[in-house]
Amino acid sequence: MRYSYIPQGICPVEIFVTLDGDTVAEVDFIGGCDGNLKVLSRMARGMKTDSLIQLLSGITCDDKDTSCGDQLAKAISAAIKAQS
């Protein structure tokens, strides 16, 4: 299932998350720092959703209360809920 998430407080305008059960199959960011987000997407691929949420939740960027990683964790959580 491919899920679309609209992030808050970061440069990317949309995050697409594809889950395969409890595993992240694919992540695509629309907008933002291309190279860094390609790395984040590639590293997320194949990881268990719970582990990735725990790893990324709460990360901040500069003076923001969130980051691309934190918003990815939120996107994964929302995708899990949509799957149910």
Instruction: Indicate the domain borders of the chain.
Output: 2-83
pLDDT, residue 84, reads 82
Mean pLDDT over the full length of the chain: 97
Q: What is the pLDDT of residues 51-80, one digit of tens each?
A: 999 999 999 999 999 999 999 999 999 999
**Is residue 1 scored above 90 in pLDDT?**
no
Rounded Cα gap, residues 30 and 14, in angstroms = 5
- CATH architecture for residues 2-83: 2-Layer Sandwich (3.30)
**What confidence category does residue 35 fall into, taking pLDDT thresholds of 50, 70 and 90?**
very high
- pTM (two decimals): 0.96
Rounded Cα gap, residues 84 and 72, in angstroms = 19
Rounded Cα gap, residues 66 and 83, in angstroms = 25
Find tokens 């990360």 and name the residue.
59
In the three-class reduction of DSSP (H, G, I as helix; E, B as strand; rest coil), residue 17 is classed as strand
Taking residues 2-24, report their average pLDDT: 97
